Chain A
Amino acid sequence: MAAVAASAGWLLRLRAAGADGPWRRLCGAGLPRGFLQSASAYGAAAQRRQVAHFTFQPDPEPVEYGQTQKMNLFQAVTSALDNSLAKDPTAGKDRVFNTPLCEQGIVGFGIGIAVTGATAIAEIQFADYIFPAFDQIVNEAAKYRYRSGDLFNCGSLTIRSPWGCVGHGALYHSQSPEAFFAHCPGIKVVVPRSPFQAKGLLLSCIEDKNPCIFFEPKILYRAAVEQVPVEPYNIPLSQAEVIREGSDVTLVAWGTQVHVIREVAAMAQEKLGVSCEVIDLRTILPWDVDTVCKSVIKTGRLLVSHEAPLTGGFASEISSTVQEECFLNLEAPISRVCGYDTPFPHIFEPFYIPDKWKCYDALRKMINY
């Protein structure tokens, strides 16, 4: 029954796709109509496009920043950039521009602009492509102030890049490389969970006097919609946010995964009567050790979850620090629910990602430890 309903749903969605839909384009290609059977023709266990593994929960409308507008995450980013550009009266067409296709050049160029004191906001089209710029980020941007004895710095550089799984991105459009950069003193790494957070955090990154990397969860670009202030505002860096208070387990995540663990918290309450404290880390480097430890001291249990592979992922750093600081408070080993130690697969994405069931299961084991 569920399979049939699902396939019917698929057909309906397809029809609704309209002019851009695959049917129209295929028919336009001159293929006979019956060439591709509808999904239901393949049987009950029909292939269907997966439903998102999370449900975006908008935060309540902020009141302290003036007029708000409904924005999705990419509109919120655009709003932040507009606010930032508006600060400079010398408006000109040469301020937002294409560059040749070269990430090491983009970041190096951005560093050079920042060295003169001007603000540079460099975009790397997908975080998966940031690696050619790794040398410029790690060996140059991060070390500029330190190695020059504070004679020079590139603090007015911000690098922003789409990040994380998107349902079909596979190896090269799904990566979450924050752990590589977490190991690099001198830069800041920030990941927002929502449009409101994105704008405030991005503005803080732009104004921060240190080079920042701002990873934007691409799956949330359109899926996340909420009321966002039109005027500029700042959300502080290196401050985690407790978005749900609880007493039995601490759940920590960032970006898209925050919505997954939020749902897990609701499931835990409903099915197990377990009260979870949910923390959005927000800044990966330097990270808010105090908020996380304070929470674990209260709850005694910690679960950290991220899409990035388990080994060497940022959950390791959190886990290690928390066991140092809160060893005697722990009631159970710290749990990490992460991607497997494989490249990010395409067709297997639903199995790869640390979804709510895996998090729920890990939580259950921790409670019963």
Chain B
Amino acid sequence: MAVAAAAARVWRPSRGLGRAGLPLLRLLGARGLARSHTHRWQQQRHFSSLDDKPQFPGASAEFIDKLEFIQPNVISGIPIYRVMDRQGQIINPSEDPHLPQEKVLKFYKSMTLLNTMDRILYESQRQGRISFYMTNYGEEGTHVGSAAALDDTDLVFGQYREAGVLMYRDYPLELFMAQCYGNVSDLGKGRQMPVHYGCRERHFVTISSPLATQIPQAVGAAYAAKRANANRVVICYFGEGAASEGDAHAGFNFAATLECPIIFFCRNNGYAISTPTSEQYRGDGIAARGPGYGILSIRVDGNDVFAVYNATKEARRRAVAENQPFLIEAMTYRIGHHSTSDDSSAYRSVDEVNYWDKQDHPISRLRHHLQSRGWWDDEQEKAWRKQSRKKVMEAFEQAERKLKPNPNLIFSDVYQEMPAQLRKQQESLARHLQTYGEHYPLDHFEKQVPPNTLRSQAVLEACSARLLHWAGSLVSPFSTLSYTVFSQGLGEGTSGTGHP
């Protein structure tokens, strides 16, 4: 396989280590220090006592003899880039991306299909059919505009409110539902709460619940992409709340210092559950933090799908060409509740929500734009609403009917191989169910995995492992070849017991 990399941390000079510790530290750090490559700004310093210029290694700046604190500018913050007005009209024709009709219709259909799916799945949670759900109302533009500007193979790290990215990449409704229902078709094998989607084939890393943890991970992935000369960008989505986490700071700083081709995409939707932005930060949002790390940053109207598209497109082009990070803060509004466990009427007015729903919604703005171009009309709207609803309902009904995966799947994939102790525990559960099975909802779960599936899966795994090994020795990890071998197309029997 390809690339090996090692990270050594800069030694800490002042931790009260004592003399004996320093040589030790030097030794530990020596590898990294000796081998680290010289960055652009690290010039050979010539120290001259005649020179009155600052010599400090930590900043490149002039002296000033006037005491003055820099005022953070929050009254007139970083301006918000937009292409369309609220009625969907292009404001500055030179900013029109001139996308073909087919593509713009795909934007519209992705956003509306997502919206329809959200309504039905939210409702299904209210009815007790699934345990939990998070809607994307109001933020569909941020997902679709950015996804459309990427290559299909650009790696996506999300937070949890980016289903539109997967929708745009044609993730089937069946699989969205399968994950929410945790049924036998779930690629995640029923292990996570709803909306924790993942898809290797579509280069969408599986969602996890802890916030902002994906940010430094995305940076590492981008670094690996750079080393592999993959000409790929990594995009990392997160909310303005998650941007307060330490991991966000870590990710930004690493991306800048290690020169990674990454797009940081912040969905600033006004709320982190019930915490409004006024209680989340005091500075000028997230975009203003970028320059502090040395990152090129922009703020865009997240409800303007073309603005999101343009910004992401340009960021992608430059991130890959220049190996540096970009920060896009997409201003938007979370129209829905945080999740089905939230009732946002407790902390915001219905009027406020209605304003965004009625006056500044990404879907309506795009629809007005489409209509003004003659690419869409009320009849098509009516037909599409009916069709999309039908598609969603069909997938929904099917997902409901399917069984859940075999409980043996509790024990696989903890490690690549199952350790002896875990196998013992698996056997212990099996024995327990033999005696006490009537007290468990076994009827809803798949019985023993069919032997044919196990055997064919094992054969397929062995073949794909061999093929991958061969492929891996030839190509970089970002090759599409290595990805398609790992596709989830193992047929219906994806509920195997994992590795033999």
Residue numbers in A under 8 Å from B222 (CB-CB): 112
A152–B200 CB distance below 8 A: yes
Give the complex CA separation of A159 and B334 in angstroms: 39
Give the complex CA separation of A14 and B219 in angstroms: 49
A97–B9 CB distance below 8 A: no
A-B contacts, 22 of them at CB < 8 A, read A90-B2, A90-B227, A94-B227, A96-B36, A99-B258, A100-B250, A104-B216, A110-B220, A111-B220, A113-B220, A113-B224, A118-B4, A121-B7, A123-B28, A135-B210, A136-B216, A149-B198, A150-B412, A209-B417, A286-B420, A286-B421, A286-B422
User: What is the minimal beta-carbon distance from B411 to any residue of chain A, in angstroms?
Assistant: 10
Interface residue tally on A, bucketed by range: 35 or more
A132–B7 CB distance below 8 A: no
B4–A99 CB distance below 8 A: no
- Pick the interface stretch among A77-85, A294-302, A306-314, A359-367: A77-85
* Interface mask (B1-42 → A, CB under 8 Å = 1, otherwise 0): 111111111111001011111001101110111011100000
B198–A109 CB distance below 8 A: no
User: What is the minimal beta-carbon distance from B186 to any residue of chain A, in angstroms?
Assistant: 7
B10–A146 CB distance below 8 A: no
A145–B253 CB distance below 8 A: no
Nearest residue (CB) in A for B250 is A105
* Interface mask (A90-128 → B, CB under 8 Å = 1, otherwise 0): 101111111111111111111111111111111111000
Residue numbers in B under 8 Å from A81 (CB-CB): 6, 31
Residue numbers in A under 8 Å from B278 (CB-CB): none
The A/B interface has a contact count, at CB < 8 Å, of 269
A115–B217 CB distance below 8 A: yes
Give the complex CA separation of A353 and B126 in angstroms: 58
Residue numbers in A under 8 Å from B258 (CB-CB): 97, 99, 109
Q: Which of B358-385 contact A (CB under 8 A)?
A: none
Residue numbers in B under 8 Å from A186 (CB-CB): 414-415
- Pick the interface stretch among B44-52, B187-195, B448-456: B187-195
Partner of B3, one of A74, A119, A143: A119
Residue numbers in A under 8 Å from B29 (CB-CB): 98, 125
Q: Does A15 contact B (CB under 8 A)?
A: no
Give the complex CA separation of A282 and B413 in angstroms: 23
B1–A140 CB distance below 8 A: no
User: What is the minimal beta-carbon distance from A174 to any residue of chain B, in angstroms?
Assistant: 12
B217–A101 CB distance below 8 A: no
Answer whether A95 and B4 are a contact pair too, CB < 8 Å, given A105-B247, A109-B219: yes
Residue numbers in B under 8 Å from A135 (CB-CB): 210, 213, 247
Q: Does A155 contact B (CB under 8 A)?
A: yes
Interface residue tally on B, bucketed by range: 35 or more
Residue numbers in B under 8 Å from A147 (CB-CB): 188, 191-192, 196, 206, 208
Residue numbers in A under 8 Å from B419 (CB-CB): 238, 286
Give the complex CA separation of A186 and B179 in angstroms: 22
Q: Does A53 contact B (CB under 8 A)?
A: no
Give the complex CA separation of A107 and B9 in angstroms: 11
Partner of B37, one of A94, A120, A289: A94
Residue numbers in A under 8 Å from B215 (CB-CB): 108
Partner of A108, one of B11, B20, B247, B257: B247
Nearest residue (CB) in B for A85 is B4
Nearest residue (CB) in B for A221 is B24
Most chain-B Cβ atoms within 10 A of its Cβ — which of A119, A139, A146, A290? A146
Give the complex CA separation of A130 and B218 in angstroms: 20
Q: Does B305 contact A (CB under 8 A)?
A: no
B12–A101 CB distance below 8 A: yes
Residue numbers in A under 8 Å from B205 (CB-CB): 115, 148, 152
A90–B3 CB distance below 8 A: yes
B210–A139 CB distance below 8 A: yes
A98–B32 CB distance below 8 A: yes
Q: Does A153 contact B (CB under 8 A)?
A: yes
A104–B250 CB distance below 8 A: yes
Q: Does B477 contact A (CB under 8 A)?
A: yes
A100–B254 CB distance below 8 A: yes
Partner of A116, one of B208, B225, B246: B225
Nearest residue (CB) in B for A222 is B24
Give the complex CA separation of A104 and B7 in angstroms: 13
Q: Does B472 contact A (CB under 8 A)?
A: yes
